Amino acid sequence: MTGQSSRDESGQIQSSLQSPCPRLREERSTRIIVRQRAESRRFSPLLNGPLIKGVPPSISTMTRLAALQVLVVASAPARRLQLRSLLASFEVEAIQSAISAASAVRLLRQQHYDIIFCDYDLGDGQDGQHLLEDLRQHEIIPPDTLFVMITSERNYERVVSAAELAPDDYILTPVVAGLFQRRLDHIMGKREALLPAWRLMAIGDWLGAIDYCKRAENAHSSYLIELLRLRAELHCTVGQIDEAETTYREILASLRSPWAKFGLARTLALKKQYAEADSLLTEIIAENNQFMAAYDLLAQVRADSDQNAAACEVLKTAAGHSPWRLGRQRRLGELALLSGDIATAETAFGEVLQQSAGSSFRDPEDHVRLIQSQLAQNKLDAAQETLDALERELGGQPKAELCRMLASAMLHTHTGNNDRARADLTAAAQLTNPLTPGAATLSPGLAQELIKTCFDQQLGKIGTELVDNILRTSGDERTVAGMRSLLQIRGMAQLSQQIEQRIQAEVRNLVAVGAERAHAGDHDGALSAMMNAARKMPGHPVVLFNAALALLRHIEHKGWNDTFARQARLLIERTRALAPASDRLIALAQFMHLLIERNNVHADGTATLERGAD
């Protein structure tokens, strides 16, 4: 999409929200405001209202549901039976059940489901909200799988307080047929309105999804808010940060919308306009202290502004409102360690370990962080107990062994047993080497702790090799800045500069090889060179961008290839995660959109006609 087309998009947005005809503008604004008010009441228990008993399912609802794949997650046999009976009354036949979060994850890894009905109380140490967090954080369910929470009014606040991880809908118990029917009608209407966009997103046609959202705003006016929101988010997805900002500002000119104000703050943060983003997020929280995503973004904005203590205070407030979000508790612990609030760090990581006890996605790094906070308070017995728990509960996993070695080295360093510390550090460093069988990867933050401890123990060569390795595997701006600061504090600024220059030169050489082969018409060779480069430097945005570009150019010259298209999409998503404001993203999105249209690719990712090789 060229710069001119981007301006045209803004013009279309403006014309839809600020029509030159006052009456049309008033009608459209009224429709938006009415829908917004309905959205703000979405999680109110009053929606259960007077229940309609004995009302038969509508034909439209039965038709829409009959062909769907449905998963019921409930530990109580009576709840599973009740939900299956209600669904059967709508002629839904493809119904499977899971009795726990772990069994639900196994089923969801095996096949796609259209709707998940999940009881909040799963009775296995993990509730429905924790399951939803795991599923979305680890991308186990795609956007077109709707998640409906079945919850009592007693647990209602837990469900709605995590607005950034809210279910697609919810039903309060006791579940009654009339209410169930009304909520299903709403769920299916939303799904039908957004499904074409979701399917385009799934094949990497983000620009096509933006175009669909624009066209659908009139056809699905009942879901106008959802369509506007998705369109603005898609602009961010393809790196059109200015277009996203314009969209959010024009929406806010027509209605007061907390999510639009939040989206605007997010675009400003991506542009590093931290002061204005901070001000907007502070306003959102003042207006609605249950908007939990605003706390998380505000904390990140302040951390990026080198205000770790202020960021920590924001998350402490958020945790007081909603203590059940693992990611928030983990981030609170990390910021507390950085700002020297050790007691808060210990409490936060203790909460993380307790809440994740029943999860299928336990992270041994949490034990290391807890040990780190305990050692900072000289709680040696507690640190040893946590280390024992790590080995006992998670032993056998490659990453758990790496974390155990690092934690043991920290403990021995603290007690002055330097020989044991160096032995453990050497073993830990070996486990991070990609050539080692069973090698594992630490997060950038904990990898920095490993490097610090190596330098503290006079293991300079190992520390330098680790720095080199982390900048190859995690070359995003934040990690590079962290490593640079770590070395500068130790008076090793020159070493930092040398390593960065060496890696930059290697990146240029790798990209040059691929470019030379492509210019010579050897697209197979260019692709091979860039995919090898991506394997060598899997966390470097420039390398990932060029690998994705090589895949797309291969498709352009050799014809559509489903496997290459999927690989390109995944590489683009990895590039976005590392550099969300990169201007390279829109170039890749435009190229992908062009190839999808040229090859008449369907939403399932397959082309109608395969072009022959040139």
pLDDT tens digits for range 576-587 = 999 999 999 999
Query: Is the residue at 612 inside a domain?
Result: no
Query: Do 466 and 345 belong to one domain?
Result: yes
User: What pLDDT is stored for residue 67 in this prediction?
Assistant: 80
Query: Do 36 and 106 belong to one domain?
Result: no
Query: Do 449 and 550 belong to one domain?
Result: no
> What is the average pLDDT across 516-540?
93
CA distances from 87 to 82, 219, 356, 480 (A): 9, 28, 32, 52
Query: Is the residue at 250 inside a domain?
Result: yes
C-alpha gyration radius of the chain: 26
Query: Is the residue at 613 inside a domain?
Result: no
Query: Do 35 and 169 belong to one domain?
Result: no
pLDDT at 109 over 50: yes
Query: Is the residue at 614 inside a domain?
Result: no
User: What pLDDT is stored for residue 42 in this prediction?
Assistant: 36
User: What pLDDT is stored for residue 60 in this prediction?
Assistant: 58
Query: Do 284 and 296 belong to one domain?
Result: no
pLDDT tens digits for range 220-233 = 988 888 899 999 99
Confidence of residue 367 (pLDDT cuts 50, 70, 90): very high
- Structural domain boundaries enclosing 435: 290-502
Query: Is the residue at 605 inside a domain?
Result: no
pLDDT at 12 over 50: no
pTM: 0.80
Query: Do 531 and 384 belong to one domain?
Result: no
Distance CA 140, CA 135 (A): 5
173, 203, 233 - which closes a domain: 203
User: With b meaning 16 or more CB within 10 Å and e meaning fewer, what string describes 473-490?
Assistant: bbbbeebbebbbebbeeb
User: What pLDDT is stored for residue 361 in this prediction?
Assistant: 79
Confidence of residue 32 (pLDDT cuts 50, 70, 90): very low
Distance CA 384, CA 366 (A): 14
Query: Do 234 and 363 belong to one domain?
Result: no
Tokens representing residue 400 in the block: 């758990």
CATH number of residue 338's parent domain: 1.25.40.10
More confident residue, 124 or 35: 124
Q: How many domains does the chain have?
A: 4
Question: Residues near 232 by Cβ (< 8 Å), separated by ≥ 6?
Answer: 244, 247, 248, 251, 260, 263
Query: Is the residue at 96 inside a domain?
Result: yes
pLDDT at 66 over 60: yes
Query: Do 405 and 484 belong to one domain?
Result: yes
The DSSP code for 369 is H
Query: Do 546 and 397 belong to one domain?
Result: no
CA-nearest of 372, 371, 364, 449 to 398 is 364
Query: Is the residue at 18 inside a domain?
Result: yes
Question: Residues near 297 by Cβ (< 8 Å), separated by ≥ 6?
Answer: 262, 265, 266, 269, 277, 281
pLDDT tens digits for range 406-456 = 999 999 999 999 999 999 999 999 999 877 777 888 998 999 999 999 999
Query: Do 340 and 481 belong to one domain?
Result: yes
How much of the chain, in percent, has pLDDT values that exceed 90? 56
CATH number of residue 71's parent domain: 3.40.50.2300
Distance CA 586, CA 146 (A): 29
CA-nearest of 241, 201, 232, 300 to 581 is 241
150, 172, 203 - which closes a domain: 203
User: What pLDDT is stored for residue 591 in this prediction?
Assistant: 97
Alpha carbons within 13 angstroms on the beta-carbon side of residue 44 total 9
Query: Do 294 and 428 belong to one domain?
Result: yes
Query: Is the residue at 237 inside a domain?
Result: yes
Q: Are 31 and 224 in contact (CB under 8 A)?
A: yes
Tokens representing residue 606 in the block: 């397959």
Distance CA 187, CA 70 (A): 13
More confident residue, 433 or 50: 433
User: What pLDDT is stored for residue 531 in this prediction?
Assistant: 95
User: What pLDDT is stored for residue 64 in this prediction?
Assistant: 67
Query: Do 280 and 352 belong to one domain?
Result: no
Distance CA 234, CA 201 (A): 9
